[in-house]
Amino acid sequence: MAKKTNNSEDRTARVLDKLAEMGNQAIRDIDRNRSPKLSIPVRSLSNVSFNKRRSIIELGSSKQDRTFFNVGMAKKFMQTYLVAQACKQLLDEGKTTSIRDLYYMVKHTIGDSKVNTVDEQAESDACLEDLEVTIDTLREELNLFASNRGAMVGKVTLVDSGDTIDCRRMGSGGYSIPSIVEPDVIQFVEIDADFVLLVEKDAVWRRLNEDKFWKDYNCVLLHGGGQPSRGVRRMVHRLAMEAKLDVFVLTDNDPWGYYIYSVIKQGSINLAYESIRMAVPGARFIGLSAGDKEQFDLPSDDKLRLNKTDVIRAKQIKNYPWFQKKHWQDEINLMLKNEMKYEIEALSSKGISFITEVYLPHKFANPKEMLD
């Protein structure tokens, strides 16, 4: 099933135009004797909304000005333009690099002073995120990548940077999902699967892979190594939208697992401006659920008491608009009432392959037990 790819040269040209306009605007401000400024969309909960019709989180219109002739903003203003300059260099040279290397590209001491342009990577990372949202461009389109996180196995054949890869034959480790999975880098050649199963943890993914769950149930099996990286989320989105595959998410029974599911389904607050390219509104939560302890007679020894941080987080997500469905309110309330949480590995107490042979087959045979 070959997919038509985007033209990477056109994409690069568009991004370079946006960077050039950013620089030209600063020059125009200077020519008019005005303080150069950037209007940066606010990336916080206060500036996001939940679009019920589309079932995704969207960024609002609130912006914050960052001006050069302001003592409190001048350094951040300069850092943002240094990051933009480094990204332009990468695009001009047709090279990619890591966000860690970007930090070193923009770090230097200013003149004869003892002041550095940036002191910690967190500073350049924050400016990169500001740049992304300001010019409406993903870091991957700026030729920046993060370390690979997550793996995939299943009946998928793809081309990655010119190399053909059969995800059926990637051994125990699977295909390592890169951070840049855009169509000009990765093209799907054949997808012969019925659905996608995204697992929170590597250890659980390895059990399912070893048991050949993906083969028996004809699915694409992925893990995100905890909170899925942008590359993993984008890969799941592409499989769902381009191959029309259903998506199921398997996480721990705790507030953090619930949130991982919601990030896949609705998008995240920090990346609300890219929900349309990452969220999968049709994704369903297959577990672990708060009621699975009784449903599958899990031993009490495997339960963990909710700590204060867990309780605070559970109450936070309970108030999010995208968790207002009755079944999610009931789910979170039950977890809070029980004051307990379970990790997926608790299923192993029923047998090393219990998750493969009993738990997941039961869930797929009883879809009403899944949450959406």
> Which residues form the catalytic set?
104
Helix orientation angle between 255-266 and 326-338, rounded to the nearest 10 degrees = 160
3 state DSSP class of 174? coil
Task: Find, among 282, 153, 288, the residue nearest to 219 by Cα.
Answer: 153
- Asked if residue 232 lies in contact with residue 180, where contact means CB atoms within 8 angstroms, the answer is no
Longest dimension (CA), the chain: 73
Task: Find, among 3, 31, 76, the residue nearest to 239 by Cα.
Answer: 3
Q: Where are the alpha helices (DSSP H) in 135-251?
A: 202-210, 213-216, 230-242
247 strand-pairing partners = 196
- Asked if residue 12 lies in contact with residue 19, where contact means CB atoms within 8 angstroms, the answer is no
Cα torsion 214, 352, 177, 270: sign: positive
Question: How many CB atoms are closer than 10 A to CB 171?
Answer: 8
The Cα 178–Cα 165 span in angstroms is 13
What single-letter amino acid sits at 110?
A: I
In the sheet that holds 186-191, the strands lie side by side as: 163-166, 156-160, 186-191
Distance set, CA 181 to CA 158, 230, 231, 254, 274 (Å): 11, 9, 6, 30, 15
The Cα 166–Cα 333 span in angstroms is 44
Residue owning tokens 């204060």:
308
- Asked if residue 161 lies in contact with residue 181, where contact means CB atoms within 8 angstroms, the answer is no
Non-local CB neighbours of 84 within 8 Å, separated by 6+ positions: 19, 22, 23, 131
The Cα 91–Cα 212 span in angstroms is 41
